[in-house]
Amino acid sequence: MRVFATFNYTVLFLLGFACLFPLLHVLAISFSSSSAAAAGFVKLWPVDFTTKSYEFILAKPEFLRSMLVTGQRVILGTIINMFLTIVIAYPLSKESKDLKFRTMYAWFFIFTILFGGGLIPWYMTIKYVGILNSIWALVLPGAIPVFNVILLLNFFRGLPKELEESSFIDGAGYWTTLWKIFVPISLPAMATIGLFTIVGHWNSWFDGLILMNTPDQYPLASYLQRIIKGIDLTKITGQDALVMSQVSDRTAKAAQIFVGTFPILLVYPFLQRYFVQGIVLGSVKE
């Protein structure tokens, strides 16, 4: 038994290290000198430690502007996604005798997971609605995350029916029951779908590239995607020449990637204790 446990811990440690290695490597490069990074001397620890790369990118208005766009997207998108997920999942969690055509409504949403209209109709719809090249183009097309709806409705179905019945006896309606009873006791599920929503908005880059007409309106993920592909949106000025003598393209990109990743890493510790429980409880019933 001890040998088996040791083997499991060893494998998990190696898997965890394999996941962390790329991030640690990028972090080390971002704090290294341009010559050390170019020579390939940097592994897991900075060589010739310097913060010039961070000073360079944080002074760039394009990078800061993309961070602001992403912040707006995450806040608006999370509020809209969470609200619509809750108000859709609650009625769909009822039995067919309580909500007529409940199964038909559920399959209506599931159908959108299995089949899509295609990229061109999706783009044309956004264009003719009039939200193209605005923050709403990044938020409204994915306003209803059906996978999250399924997780939450299954979680609601696992809650004791006596809670709702006692609420009705006390004179509460469906709306009060949902927000005063169901939502407060569903923190594991809320944390899970909230984490999915935040990470989804933060990491989404493709829609920003095709729905925003100018690079100035790119969210952070779209901006970083262009940077990684080698199409730098920043313009080097004469004042930057001295800094660029100590900052290479590789170290600047590494710094931008890590700064873009760091805020979302801060979210995980606060939601981790609910995450596994929410996944399990939200998937055991149908």
Q: Which pLDDT tens digit goes with each residue over 130-153?
A: 999 999 999 999 899 999 998 888
Half-sphere CA count of 215, side-chain side, radius 13 A: 14
Half-sphere CA count of 235, side-chain side, radius 13 A: 3
pLDDT of amino acid 275: 60
The list of the chain residues with pLDDT below 50 reads: 231, 233-234, 282-286
- The CA distance from 247 to 54, in Å, is 9
* Mutual angle of helices 249-281 and 187-203, in 10-degree steps: 150
Residues 146 and 89 sit within 8 Å (Cβ to Cβ): no
pLDDT of amino acid 214: 83
Q: Which pLDDT tens digit goes with each residue over 264-286?
A: 878 777 766 666 555 555 444 44
pLDDT of amino acid 284: 44
Could you tell me the CA-to-CA distances from 184 to 72, 120, 144, 224, 236 in Å, in that order?
26, 41, 21, 37, 51
Multiple choice CATH, 53-281, 3.20.20.100, 1.10.3720.10, 3.40.50.20, 3.40.190.10:
1.10.3720.10
Predicted TM-score of the model (pTM): 0.80
Domain definitions of the chain by residue range: 2-50, 53-281
Residues 89 and 149 sit within 8 Å (Cβ to Cβ): yes
pLDDT of amino acid 84: 95
Looking at the chain, the whole-number percentage of residues with pLDDT higher than 70 is: 87
Q: Which pLDDT tens digit goes with each residue over 225-238?
A: 877 666 454 455 55
